[in-house]
Amino acid sequence: MVKFSREYEASIIPEWKAAFVDYKGLKKLIKRIKIARRDAGPPPLLAATTAGSSYGFSVLDPVRSLTARFTGAAHHAAASPEGEEESLESDSGELVRSTNKHEQEFLEKADEELDKVNKFYATQEAELLARGEALIEQLRILADVKRILADHAAASRRGRGRALGRAASMPPSLELSPSLNGSSGRHLLSGLASPQSMSDGSVELQQARVAEGAAVAEEVMAALERNGVSFVGGGLAKAKKDGSGKQLMGRAALLQLPATVRIDIPPTSPGRAALKVWEELVNVLRKDGADPAAAFVHRKKVQHAEKNIRDAFLALYRGLELLKKFSSLNVKAFTKILKKFVKVSEQQQATDKFSEKVKRSQFSSSDKVLQLADEVECIFLRHFAGNDRKVAMKYLKPQQPRNTHMITFLVGLFTGTFVSLFIIYSVLAHVAGIFSSTGSPAYMDIVYHVFSMFALISLHVFLYGCNLFMWKSTRINNNFIFDFSSSTALTHRDAFLMSASIMCTVVAALVINLFLRNAGATYTDALPGALLVLSTGVLFCPFNIFYRSTRYCFMRVMRNIIFSPFYKVLMADFFMADQLTSQIPLLRHMEFAACYFMAGTFRNHAYETCTSSPQYTHLAYVISFLPYYWRAMQCLRRYLEEGHDINQLANAGKYVSAMVAAAVRFKYAATPTPLWMWMVVISSSGATIYQLYWDFVMDWGFLNPKSKNLWLRDQLILKKKSIYYVSMMLNLALRLAWAQSVMKLHLGQVESRLLDFSLASLEIIRRGHWNFYRLENEHLNNAGKFRAVKTVPLPFRELETD
């Protein structure tokens, strides 16, 4: 049976850990009470009974001991004066001092913990209730807008049918333009059509367009006002009464008033950003009869608004579930600790009084969270799941993937197969003299690049699996930090399986290739090319196999990185971009493989085509810069989005310094003169100092001189502080790997490539080591702000205009 303390520690919400009752601290106080009572000796009557019995042990001793204990307690209560501060709690909730110092300390500590839990619960409950009310209002606005959009589209279709019947008899100047016929679903709140369409046609047609746009805008504004959204000018003004034409122009003049409501969709992608810029531009250019703040409410925008509201409801439900868990765990913790207290202290009256206070507390007695959770379930079921409860629960309560031993078995199987095949390949390559000075250089050229590429990928995936294992062991909520779904996110076993299967497949291909080469088969180099094609096919496979959700997420993140800064930068995006800065050798290997297999050079093994040509050199120069460039662009995007945070500019400067150092090293490799050697030392040293400062201070949160942990931070997840100091020294040593580039090492071709592969592997190890502390610091920041649920921006917002 698992002790409750372990179960409690394993069940608490990591980001809210500081708000939970300090169960361990209260247990320590109970232990002090037990030790103090043991040192004080048994009660007088029990001691007398024990001293008076000279007949040894008896089966009635437990009964005598229990009777003496109750008799001693009654005698102690009768001997206490009535005016002594013996009652433990009044009806007003104030604790009264106990005669025992340790018992009083426990009661005061328990009361402080109860107050802490109650205040936190009340704050979170108020925030969630306010969020729920705001979401319900947003949903009502969305329902009205969708209804009006559908009604207007149906009316427009009916009007279009009648207009087509009259089109043959109308003069050409009075024919309905396509812009009017097709505007029903594109500009719902736009009051009028575009300025170009207003300038065409007759006055009657313009007035008809104004009337139609004004009617739609009036209906939408009235619907929004019914839901509490106000407009500048206090609503719709009255139209003038002197003629139909003046009445229409009065409505047109009315629609020129800027409304205080708009659908605000964050520009998270280039398409949304371009649409937002276009809307703002058109809103500025629209002059007569248009509402600049409420223009361009079309179906696509309404769909985005609906998706945002759905995600906001999911986040709200997640917060409600966490708060219910918070309430139940704390109630259970108080119940358990009070049972322990009454057993040790025999303060039954104090325990009963405190239990009643716990029951009357808001986190124990309030049912508002339960009611709101039920209401959210009903709303989501009706509006977002088509009254299908199974679909609704799939989103509201996603099922955790079941742990299966099959994955563990496959990891062991592929790992053993990889080791066996690697031993076979090493023996065959040694017998064939592949790696000797007389070996075939053409074989080494292609095998080295292909094997290194897959080996570096496999090593990075393996280290990511180690990160996942450590994050899970230390209860770092990496899925919440990366905004991954817990039902589809990778586990450490999945990462280990991917790493082992990749290496097993690659080494098997190398063994087969070596057999075919020794047998004199032609086109043996096509096998590594087929391996590349197979890996690409698996990556883009549309079927739900081989971790499709993870593969698609990886491709989506890579798209966001490549097109930086046009996509909104999320945690997963810049975390992956940081991984790419450590995988520059991998990108160089991919460049060579693409050149070798796609340029048609595998027929004659023209290795020099992909190594010494000026185009290849320039491309290698660009590839070495790309990860740093992408990361710098992400920092600039965050600088603009986060209120011109100067730290983002400083972070971008770190990557610019890395690009400068890489450029100087490339120049030194081309012209190895003493001047350029000193330039390499100066630029690389400056970039390394910059990077080390950012690693230790900004990314890891270390080097705090005021911390209670010397040169670390106040809160540490790992218990042994020595691990952090060793990690800092290891990061420093691996950051200095560039020093090898200025050393004149006289190595052969095989030794030189082995050294390059080892340095690339060490950089990946450093990055995997960096990953853990980066997410540890991010998790502690979330815990410091009690941030356990993401905040989804609401689409309908008020816009203050002059």
Check residue 386 and give left, alpha or beta (phi > 0: left; psi -120 to 50: alpha). Answer: left
- 102-115 pLDDT, tens digit each: 888 999 999 999 99
User: From CA 72, how far away is CA 784, in angstroms rounded?
Assistant: 49
Q: In the structure, how many helices (H) and strands (E) does the chain have?
A: 28, 2
pLDDT confidence bin for 101, thresholds 50/70/90: confident
Asked whether the predicted pLDDT for residue 419 surpasses 60, the reply is yes
Tens digit of each residue's pLDDT (9 = 90 or more) over 506-543:
999 989 988 888 887 777 777 888 888 899 999 999 99
Q: Quick one: pLDDT at residue 218? A: 57
Q: What is the pLDDT of residue 195?
A: 36
82 contact partners, CB below 8 Å, separation of at least 6? none
Give the pLDDT of residue 408.
94
Residue-by-residue DSSP string for 497-513: HHHHHHHHHHHHHHHHH
Residues 6+ apart with CB under 8 A from 316: 128, 131, 132, 135, 376, 789
- The C-alpha atoms of residue 593 and residue 607 are separated, in whole angstroms, by 11
| DSSP 3-state of 703 | coil
Alpha helices in 167-298 (DSSP H): 178-181, 195-199, 203-226, 244-255, 270-285
Please confirm whether the linkage preceding 565 is cis (ω < 30° from 0): yes
Q: List alpha helices for 474-547, DSSP H.
A: 478-482, 492-518, 526-539
Average of per-residue pLDDT across 607-622:
76
* Among 30-44, 318-332, 561-575, 643-657, the least confident range: 30-44
Q: State residue 109's pLDDT score.
A: 93
194 vs 409, residue with greater confidence: 409
pLDDT value of residue 201: 45
Is the pLDDT at 65 greater than 70? The verdict is no
Better-predicted residue by pLDDT, 397 or 441: 397
| Mean pLDDT score of the chain | 79
Q: Averaged over 207-215, what is the pLDDT?
A: 53
Which pLDDT score is estimated for 280?
58
pLDDT at 8: 92
Helix (H, G, I), strand (E, B) or coil at 431: helix
Residue 388 has pLDDT above 50, yes or no: yes
pLDDT value for 224: 55
Phi and psi for 628 in degrees, rounded to 5? -70, -35
Ramachandran angles phi, psi of 797, nearest 5°: -140, 160
Residue 90: what pLDDT? 43
Q: Residue 502 and residue 509: Cα distance in Å, rounded? A: 11
For the whole prediction, is pTM greater than 0.95? no
Q: What is the tens place of the pLDDT at every residue in 225-264?
A: 555 444 433 333 333 444 444 433 333 333 333 344 567 6
How much is the pLDDT for 486?
A: 86
What is the rounded distance in angstroms from the CA atom of residue 323 to the CA atom of residue 376? Answer: 15
Q: What percent of the chain has pLDDT over 90?
A: 48
CA–CA distance, 291 with 600 (Å, rounded to integer): 60
pLDDT at 554: 96
Contacts of 770 (CB under 8 A, 6+ apart): 578, 695, 699, 731
Q: Which of 491-495, 607-611, 679-683 has the lowest mean pLDDT?
A: 607-611
pLDDT in tens, 184-207: 333 333 332 333 433 344 445 545
Give the model's pLDDT for residue 523: 75
The strand pair at 261-263 and 796-798 is best described as antiparallel
Position 416 scores a pLDDT of 96
Question: Looking at the predicted structure, is the pLDDT value of residue 798 above 80?
Answer: no
Residue 94 identity: E
Task: Locate 497 and state its tokens.
Answer: 């399986």
Task: Report d(CA 582, CA 577) in Å as an integer.
Answer: 9
Cα–Cα distance for residue pair 678/317, rounded to 1 Å:
60
Q: Rounded distance, CA 226 to CA 216, Å?
A: 16
pLDDT bracket for residue 418 (50, 70, 90): very high
Over residues 26-55, the mean pLDDT reads 67
Can you tell me the distance from the alpha carbon of 795 to that of 302, in angstroms, rounded to the nearest whole number?
A: 9
> Where is pLDDT greater, at 581 or 75?
581
Kindly tell me the burial class for residue 132, based on how many C-beta atoms sit within 10 Å of its own C-beta (0-12, 13-18, 19 or more): buried
Q: What pLDDT is recorded for position 643?
A: 84
What residues contact 637, with CB distance under 8 A and at least 6 apart?
A: 564, 565, 568, 569
pLDDT (average), residues 655-679: 91
Which whole number is the average pLDDT over 118-123? Answer: 96
d(CA 782, CA 791) in angstroms, rounded, equals 13
Residue pair 141/796 in contact (Cβ under 8 Å)? The answer is yes
The count of other CB atoms within 10 Å of the CB of residue 766 is 20
pLDDT computed for residue 210 by the predictor: 47
* pLDDT (0 to 100) of residue 271: 66
Convert the pLDDT of each residue in 724-777 to its tens digit. 999 999 999 999 988 887 777 778 778 888 899 999 999 999 999 999 999 999
* Gap between the Cα atoms of 763 and 214, Å rounded: 64
Q: Return the structure tokens found at 206.
A: 């313009």
- For residues 174 and 583, what is the distance between their CA atoms, to the nearest angstrom? 66
Query: How would DSSP label each residue in 736-760?
Result: GGGGGGGS-----HHHHHHHHHHHH
Percent of the chain whose pLDDT exceeds 70: 72
Q: Tokens standing for 410?
A: 């496959």
Region of poorest pLDDT, from 74-83, 563-572, 574-583, 715-724: 74-83
Give pLDDT, residue 767: 96
Contact between 363 and 117 (Cβ < 8 Å): yes
Identify which of 18-22, 86-90, 606-610 has the greatest average pLDDT.
Answer: 18-22
| 3-state class (DSSP) for residue 193 | coil
Query: In this model, does residue 402 exceed pLDDT 60?
Result: yes
Beta bridge partners of 262: 797
Is pLDDT at 593 greater than 90 in this prediction?
no
Backbone angles phi, psi at 796, to 5 degrees: -90, 120
Q: How far apart, in whole angstroms, are the C-alpha atoms of residue 757 and residue 759?
A: 6
> Is the pLDDT higher at 492 or at 274?
492
Give bridge partners of residue 798 from the DSSP assignment.
261
Q: Which is higher by pLDDT, 83 or 58?
A: 58
pLDDT at position 276? 63
Biggest CA-to-CA distance, the chain: 127
Is pLDDT of 626 > 70? yes
Choose between 765 and 211: higher pLDDT: 765
Burial call 562-595: b when 16+ CB within 10 Å, e when fewer: eebbbbbbeebbbbbbbbbbbbbbbbbbbbbbeb
Is a pLDDT exceeding 80 seen at residue 56? no
Q: What are phi and psi of 643, to 5 degrees?
A: 70, 40
Q: Which of 455-459, 513-517, 700-704 has the lowest mean pLDDT?
A: 513-517
Backbone dihedral region for residue 11 (phi beyond 0: left; psi -120 to 50: alpha; all else: beta): alpha
If pLDDT is split at 50, 70 and 90, which confidence band does 165 have?
Answer: low
SS3 263: strand
Q: How many CB atoms lie within 10 A of CB 603?
A: 8
Mean pLDDT of 172-182: 35
Measuring CA to CA, how many Å separate 427 from each of 107, 424, 434?
72, 5, 10
